[in-house]
């Protein structure tokens, strides 16, 4: 699956007219891949279709991944959605005190961007 994701993104980077062909591969990976592949497929998908909210559940799910880099990437990926990502607020609130300080920074930035009121209520400034 990882090779298919990488190939799809390389094809889209080489020829933007083929981006629509890569969407099916990335959607499949977001639904059926392992957690790491789902996450990176969502990252790449959001680069092709920035207005889509399909990636939100993948990023929310990645917030609790055991790999710190995926948790960081997930939180920063949520930033671009702003208030449209309100569904992520409970997970962000839960993750704001992650054991990793970089994860905490990313989660807190996402929380402030998505729901400043909720961030303030839980002491995130």
**pLDDT tens digits along 58-77:** 999 999 999 999 999 999 99
pLDDT band at 14 (very low <50, low <70, confident <90, very high): low
Contact present, 85 and 57 (Cβ < 8 Å): no
Phi, psi of 124 (to 5 degrees): -95, 115
Enumerate the CATH 1.25.10 domain ranges in the chain, comma separated: 55-125
Query: How far is 77 from 71, CA to CA, in rounded Å?
Result: 10
Q: Which of 59, 89, 86, 84 is nearest to 74 (CA)?
A: 59
Q: Collapsing DSSP states into helix, strand and coil, what is residue 54?
A: coil
Instruction: Identify which has the larger pLDDT, 75 or 5.
Output: 75
Where does 55-125 sit in CATH, by number? Answer: 1.25.10
83: left (phi over 0), alpha (psi -120 to 50) or beta: alpha
pTM of the predicted model as reported, rounded to 2 decimal places: 0.84
pLDDT at 108: 96
């Amino acid at each position: 699956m990882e090779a298919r994701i990488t190939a799809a993104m390389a094809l889209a980077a080489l020829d933007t007219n083929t981006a629509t062909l890569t969407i099916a591969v990335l959607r499949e990976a977001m639904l059926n891949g392992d957690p790491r592949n789902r996450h990176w497929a969502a990252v790449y998908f959001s680069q092709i279709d920035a207005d889509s909210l399909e990636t939100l559940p993948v990023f929310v799910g990645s917030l609790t991944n055991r790999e710190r880099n995926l948790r960081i990437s997930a939180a920063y990926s949520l930033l671009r959605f702003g208030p449209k990502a309100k569904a992520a607020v409970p997970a962000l609130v839960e993750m704001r005190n992650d054991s990793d300080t970089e994860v905490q920074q990313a989660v807190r930035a996402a929380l402030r961007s998505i729901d400043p009121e909720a961030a303030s209520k839980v002491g995130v400034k």
